[in-house]
Every structure is written in structure tokens, then in C-alpha cells.
Amino acid sequence: MANTRRMNRLEELGRVDAERADTRSGARNLRDEKRRIVGELRKKGGRAGYKHGGKVKSRGIAKKGFGKEVK
């Protein structure tokens, strides 16, 4: 089975988390890279109901409303 794009991003995130920076600029580069990867993960197929800049809103199973989101 081939890796999906999301699996590759998660693997990359694990690598960045495990990596240690020797210098201050190296630490900054790792922080920037981690922010980029997390942003890509959240952009599409990330956390359910994630809204950039706003509050996180859960989108669970609709209990009423015939399968539509009830506000």
C-alpha cells in the first residue's frame, strides 16, 4: 500500500518533532517547518470543524435534523 499525502505529512511532522536544533537559527527553522506542516494538515483533512482564526467547533454525529448539521 502506498503512503497517502496525509501519511507523508504526519511522518514529516514526527521527524521535525524528533529533530534537535544546534543553533538559535536552526531552532527557528524547525519551528517554521513544523508550523508549515501543521498548517498543511489542518488545511484539508485535518481536525474536524477546525476554523482558522476562529474558535474550534465540533462537528459530531447529528442526533436530530435528519443527518444535517443542527445549529
Cα–Cα distance measured from residue 44 to residue 61, given in angstroms and rounded to the nearest whole number: 20
Which comes out higher in pLDDT, residue 13 or 45? 13
The C-alpha cell at 62 is 447529528
| pLDDT tens for each residue of 43-58 | 875 554 445 555 555 5
In this prediction the pTM is: 0.56
pLDDT confidence tier of residue 25, bands split at 50, 70 and 90: very high
Amino acid at 20: R
Q: Can you give the residue ranges of every domain in the chain?
A: 1-71
Secondary structure (3-state) at 55: coil
